[in-house]
Chains A and B, each alone.
Chain A
Amino acid sequence: MNVLLLVIPIALALGTLGLFAFLWALRSGQYDDIEGAEYRVLHDD
């Protein structure tokens, strides 16, 4: 069962990574304009 000591930290680390990615996205304003984002994709600039 020693593998648990390896696998569980890996799982948690990945989860934490996801959490911080979300918090970063939130802070950098990527959720400020959810409706606009779907149109912005279409801009060719």
Chain B
Amino acid sequence: MCCTDMALAYVEAHAAWSEANTKPSLARDYATFLSRAADGTARAAFAVEGVRCAGCMNAIERGLADLPGIGGARLNFSDRRLTVTWKPEAEADIGAVLAALDALGFKAQPFAPGRLSDAEAAESQRLIRALAVAGFASMNVMLLAISVWAGNVSDMTPENRDLFHWIQAVIALPAAAYAGRPFYEGAFRGLRAGRVTMDFPITLGVVLTLVMSVVESLSGAAHAYFDGAVMLLFFLLIGRVLDQTMRRRTRAFAENLAALRSESATLVDAAGTLRDVPAAELRAGARILVRPGERVPADGVVEHGASDLDQSLVTGETAAVTVRGGDRVFAGALNGNGALTVRVTAAAGASLLDEVEGLMQRALEARSRALVLADTATRLYVPLVHTAAALTLAGWLAAGAGWHAALLDAVAVLIVTCPCALGLAIPAVQVVAAGALFREGVLLNDGTALERFAEIDTVVFDKTGTLTLPLPTLAEGPPDDGALMQAARLALSSRHPMAAALAPAASGADPFPGAQEAAGLGVRAHIDGVELRLGSARFCEAEAQAEAALAANPDASVICFRAGNDTPVAFVVRQALRPDAVEVVASLRQAGRRVMILSGDRPSAVEAVARRLGVTEWEAGLTPPDKIGRIEALQREGRRVLMVGDGLNDAPALAAAHASLSPVTASHVSQAAADALFLGRDLAPVLAVLAAGRRARRLMVQNLWFSAAYNVVAVPLAAAGLLTPLIAALAMSGSSLVVTLNALRARAMTPCVLPGAADVSTGPNLVPQRVGGGT
């Protein structure tokens, strides 16, 4: 054994035995979270949990300003992020800031905003600038245009009218060139990829309208349509900005949640010293220490130590798996009672099973081929409009009108059909519905998912962490209350997840002084000369009691307690059902939906849950390919499947299903694959999402029909050559207004309060339930 290994052996023993590891006090390496400005001032961003009011904001900003070296602290209330800047000469100490926040009662984590969010921020700034320019131009052009319309029916001289038209051109042309860029670029990108997107008719409409207006102004005609072109851009940009804002807000909260889970790893370097680093920085070959109660941060092979792992987030299996030197461990597994030294085999980010990734890719591709409403509308709309314009041109030519008049009317058709209402019809509903869901504690990853939620007729649940709460809880009242109290106080000193289930029963009592955790066994303390022990059956010599308890509860686990030489007590611990699971499943079935459970756990555990929920269709012991297979079989039968799951093993199934939902405690991969995430302990968001989807889809379809009806009236008018700029302006703004107002109805969400269920609405402030120990 070389010196490094001795150091490691010491470290492991220390980590496993020391009471101090209930609060790891290692110096963390935060350098990656710091960014420096040109003048040498350092700044860092934090995701902060628990900010609810103006008082919190005030307390944080003032509290931090008193720290030495801090230049300023500013909390962004909209996305709950804190930016701290240090004075140029000061040493940037992130640990001190975290400690100060902790003292103030806020949990925070340093946060490195990704490059993706920078690009998104730049894009939304660009859209807002374009919106401002289009708004300015449309107001001023409209002012002049109304003067012309009034002048045309009174005594305006042709010279003045031409002057007004030219002033309009001077405002509208540069404004349209600037504000229309998002659409022009989109149209070009689409054409290069061989697709006609909605941007194409918009670009064509705007450009033709402007060209025609310039030509008309040159010939001193009575009508010009500059106002129509810029107003169109203004309305469409409103839709784009709303869409972008919704997506950024959801993403910002998802990123905060990820940061607050504090993905960190304890790196062991060659000399045996320990350093906390962000999990994202782990490279293959690194050696990490996983302490009891922590999650394994990356895939790897165990080098030293032995422990029981809770792999439920990886495989759905609730029974603990024992690992020792040479065994593989996967990111997301919760370490039980022993410290492990792990050599990382796959770096973070690549730390999922290749199989899962491959399956998910395939499933996602299949889903992206599905046509959403907006695509269908574009496919119908573009050829129809362009045919109508061509027919108008041909018709007028055949009727003997000159080229000038025929072209004018054809362009008028293109202007009046410009997809103002159509462009707002779907994004407006998506934004309003996503906002309403957000208030109910559901984060929508993908706006088009709403339509898919509307079509669901089969709901497939994963068991572990989805129907059940992610953390185990004490199953039923034990025979002896005093023993429970003592066991719970002892449990406070342990990081083992089973002990965490007992800890709440201590109800505010302090942990026993001098309690020690024994690796792989449990916790012990000497109180008044009596030795108290909490841990495995072997540790408490309670094999008989444990066996009896397990025989009565095949789906549970036991943790034993013994005071001195008294009779030991076995506490039954299981992952409890979510509080409203029974009601939610019942109302899903009442609404005529088929409910199934597909789990990776053992049959006895799944059967117990299925029986309590009254679900007859369930399967256990499924691997990820099995789950995909079952879901694909259902979809081949023509069922539209909603998959609700959280584990790494559910990720491919989430991607394969027609629509998918994950609790916020889910593994990263699952969160990325799911269409929406829900917060909190309740399962009711499943109902909320389905109801919101149906409502949103109904409103979208109404909006699309309204846009179609509007065109049916407007196109003949334009084709007949009766379209004046006044009518065009009224029709455009009127139809956009109607569509937007209709979309606002998606706010009035029918609250799905269940009989006997706890408070369903959980605001976005809700803190994520912490997954396991972490740091």
Q: Which of A's residues lie within 8 Å of B, judged by CB? A: 1, 4, 8, 11-12, 15-16, 18-19, 22-23, 26, 31-36, 39-40, 42-43
Neighbouring B residues of A26 by C-beta, 8 Å: 125, 128-129, 132
B contacts with A: majority SS: helix
Chain B minimum-CB-distance residue to A43? B58
Nearest 5 CB-CB pairs, A to B?
A36-B77, A39-B54, A19-B136, A33-B76, A35-B78
Instruction: Check if A39 sits within 8 Å of B78, measured CB to CB.
Output: no
For the complex with contacts A4-B160, A19-B133, A36-B77, 15 further pairs of A-B residues with Cβ separation under 8 Å are A11-B140, A12-B140, A16-B136, A19-B132, A26-B129, A26-B132, A32-B76, A33-B76, A33-B78, A36-B57, A36-B75, A39-B57, A39-B77, A40-B54, A40-B57
Neighbouring B residues of A36 by C-beta, 8 Å: 57, 75-78
- Residues 122-153 of chain B: 1 if any A CB is under 8 Å from the residue's CB, otherwise 0? 00010011001100100110011000000000
Neighbouring B residues of A31 by C-beta, 8 Å: 128
Within the complex, what minimum Cβ distance (angstroms) separates B290 from chain A?
Answer: 39
- Residues 142-174 of chain B: 1 if any A CB is under 8 Å from the residue's CB, otherwise 0? 011000000000000100100100010001000
Docked pose: A43 CA to B60 CA in angstroms = 13
Within the complex, what minimum Cβ distance (angstroms) separates B47 from chain A?
Answer: 15
- Partner among B76, B144, B160, B167 whose Cβ is within 8 Å of the Cβ of A1: B160
Neighbouring B residues of A39 by C-beta, 8 Å: 53-54, 57, 77
A19-B136, A42-B54 in contact; A12/B171 too (CB < 8 A)? yes
Docked pose: A35 CA to B79 CA in angstroms = 9
Q: Which of B37-65 contact A (CB under 8 A)?
A: 53-54, 57-58
Docked pose: A19 CA to B54 CA in angstroms = 31
Chain A minimum-CB-distance residue to B81? A33
Neighbouring B residues of A40 by C-beta, 8 Å: 54, 57
Neighbouring B residues of A23 by C-beta, 8 Å: 129, 132
Instruction: Check if B77 sits within 8 Å of A22, measured CB to CB.
Output: no
Neighbouring A residues of B139 by C-beta, 8 Å: 15
Docked pose: A26 CA to B131 CA in angstroms = 12
Docked pose: A32 CA to B139 CA in angstroms = 25
18 A-B pairs in the complex with CB atoms less than 8 angstroms apart? A4-B163, A8-B167, A11-B143, A12-B140, A15-B140, A19-B132, A19-B136, A23-B129, A26-B128, A26-B129, A33-B77, A33-B79, A36-B78, A39-B57, A40-B54, A40-B57, A43-B54, A43-B58
Instruction: Check if B78 sits within 8 Å of A32, measured CB to CB.
Output: yes
Neighbouring A residues of B78 by C-beta, 8 Å: 32-36
Neighbouring A residues of B77 by C-beta, 8 Å: 33, 35-36, 39
Chain B minimum-CB-distance residue to A41? B54
Neighbouring A residues of B79 by C-beta, 8 Å: 33
Within the complex, what minimum Cβ distance (angstroms) separates B20 from chain A?
Answer: 38
